[in-house]
Structure 1
Amino acid sequence: MAEILESYRLPLDTTAFLKDKILPKCAIEDSIAGQIRLLLLTSFDECSFDPEFGCEIWEHEFEHSQISKIWIDRMSLQMTTLLQKYEQRLMNIVIKAQITEKEFKSDNTNQSTVRLQKCLTINLNANLTSTNEPFYFKDSIFISPFSTD
């Protein structure tokens, strides 16, 4: 029997369910992307049902030290381990992470301020467990805010 490749759309629309008795669905790729984003944006101990659910990134959010290749490789390995545990709809997971700095300018009445933020970009290649089809995911999150003038 073939697996249905769709999931319930989050957040759940309970008003629509009470009215129509149907919950909107989305493609499995969208559901997986949402789960990956949730893992990336959640810190440890944030979810009471599972204190290990989340990502180590937020343990180092405000560190101003140089982010090294070792740290980036550790984040990639940790994300791979997390996805193997929490996203079993994927297999053959390969993650590449990259840190860049983005510059933001803001003009106040008296002075101009330049803000730099580190941006972590995650590129993920995998296969869907159910069909072996390729799955691609790319997302960027800003970490370690600081400013200069």
Structure 2
Amino acid sequence: MPEHFYHKPFRFDTIFSGAELQSTDLGKSISNHIELIIFTRYGENRHNHDFGCEIWDLDFELIVSEAIWEEKFRKSLLKSIIGYEQRIDQVEVEVHISEVENVYPLRKITEIKKKVDITVRGKIRTTGEKYYFNIALFLSPLST
């Protein structure tokens, strides 16, 4: 029996009209689940308080050492992916933080944000294929 993976976000008008939900492939389904892990704060899921990752707690932490911050977040994310995404093995997580400066000359505003690049690599258990996921997040807007 083949498994069905559904496209995110769900289209509620499709659900209520009784039509079939849009499906997606295994790789995209894994990516959607990893995004959910990243975007969920510990304690936010009322049925499982351990689901999520630490980025939302680290977002407001004063970054003394970028290397320590990256490693702390990397370990948190790796633990959650290994624990909650059972469809991939040999999981490796890389996290890199950098600063991005946006200048808005008409408004005379300079905005500095922290950019976090996240890369996840692994192997899909059922097919043996290599798995790759990459996302960039922007944190902590600082404006002048």
TM-score normalised according to structure 1 size: 0.85
- Equivalent-residue separation in structure 2 for 1:130 and 1:115 (angstroms): 45
Unaligned runs of at least 5 residues, structure 2: none
Displacement of 1:11: 2.5
Tell me the residue number matched to 1:37.
35
| Alignment map for 1:122-133 (pairs within 5 Å) | 122-133=118-129
Displacement of 1:8: 1.3
Tell me the residue number matched to 1:69.
67
Deviations 1:60-118 (A, max 9, x none): 21234334212211211211110011110111001111001111122455xx1211000
Displacement of 1:24: 1.5
TM-score normalised according to structure 2 size: 0.88
Displacement of 1:21: 4.2
Displacement of 1:145: 2.1
Counterpart code for 2:72: R
Contact between 1:5 and 1:27, CA under 8 Å: does it hold in 2?
no
Tell me the residue number matched to 2:116.
120
- Equivalent-residue separation in structure 2 for 1:105 and 1:5 (angstroms): 48
Between Structure 1 and Structure 2, how many residues are aligned? 144
Tell me the residue number matched to 1:140.
136
Let me know the Cα RMSD of the aligned residues.
1.9
Contact between 1:44 and 1:52, CA under 8 Å: does it hold in 2?
yes
Counterpart code for 1:104: N
Contact between 2:58 and 2:69, CA under 8 Å: does it hold in 1?
no
Displacement of 1:15: 2.9
Displacement of 1:133: 0.3
Unaligned runs of at least 5 residues, structure 1: none
Distance 1:17 1:68, change over 3 A: closer
Q: Percent identity?
A: 25
Tell me the residue number matched to 2:92.
94
Counterpart code for 2:35: R
Contact between 1:100 and 1:120, CA under 8 Å: does it hold in 2?
yes
